[in-house]
Amino acid sequence: MRKGEVKGRVLFSNIEDVKKSYDELFAEFINSLRIKGRAEQTIKSYYHHNNYFKRFLKEKNLKYCNEISGKTLEEYILYLREEKHMTNGISINSYIRNVSPILKFGVKRRYIAEDFIAPVVQEEKKIKEIYTPEELHDLLEKPKKRDFTAIRTWAIIWTLASTAIRARELRELKIKNVNLLDRTIAVQKTKNKKARYVPISMSFAPVLEEYLTIRKGNQDDYLFCNVYNTELAMSTLQTSVKKYCNSRGIGKCSLHLFRHTFITNAVNKNVSPLILQRITGHSTMKELSRYYNNKTTDLIDVIDEVAPQTSKKENYFKKRN
Domain-wise residue ranges, the chain? 3-108, 133-253
- Whole-angstrom Cα distance, residue 232 to residue 299? 43
Helix boundaries (H) for 141-272: 148-163, 167-172, 205-215, 234-247, 255-268
Cα 249 from chain centre: 26
Half-sphere exposure of 299 (CA within 13 A, CB side): 5
**Is the alpha carbon torsion for 78, 83, 87, 89 positive or negative?**
negative
Residue 309 three-state SS: coil
At a CB cut-off of 8 Å and minimum separation 6, what does 227 contact? 148, 149
Residue 105 has pLDDT above 80, yes or no: yes
Residue 4 has pLDDT above 90, yes or no: no
Helix boundaries (H) for 19-116: 22-36, 40-59, 70-82, 89-97, 100-108
- In one-letter notation, the amino acid at residue 153 is T
Of the pLDDT bands very low, low, confident and very high (cuts 50, 70, 90), residue 311 is low
Model confidence, pTM: 0.71
The candidate with the shortest Cα–Cα distance to 265, out of 276, 255, 251, 254, is: 276
Residue 161 has pLDDT above 70, yes or no: yes
Q: H-helix or E-strand containing 181? A: none
Q: Indicate the CATH number of 3-108 among 1.10.150.130, 3.90.1150.10, 3.40.640.10, 1.10.240.10.
A: 1.10.150.130
- pLDDT (0 to 100) of residue 190: 85
At a CB cut-off of 8 Å and minimum separation 6, what does 248 contact? 138, 139, 141
- Whole-angstrom Cα distance, residue 20 to residue 183? 54
Of the pLDDT bands very low, low, confident and very high (cuts 50, 70, 90), residue 194 is confident
| Average pLDDT for the chain | 86
Mean pLDDT, residues 132-143: 94
- pLDDT (0 to 100) of residue 87: 83
CB count, 10 Å around CB of 218?
9
Is pLDDT larger for residue 100 or for residue 307? 100
**Bridge partners (DSSP) listed for residue 197:** 186
- Helix (H) and strand (E) counts in the chain: 15, 3
- Whole-angstrom Cα distance, residue 257 to residue 253? 8
CATH fold group of domain 133-253: hpI Integrase; Chain A (1.10.443)
- Whole-angstrom Cα distance, residue 15 to residue 89? 34
Looking at residue 144, the DSSP 8-state letter turns out to be S
Q: What is the CA radius of gyration of the chain?
A: 26
- The CA-based angle 174-176-179, given to 5 degrees, is 120
Q: Do domains 3-108 and 133-253 have the same CATH topology?
A: no
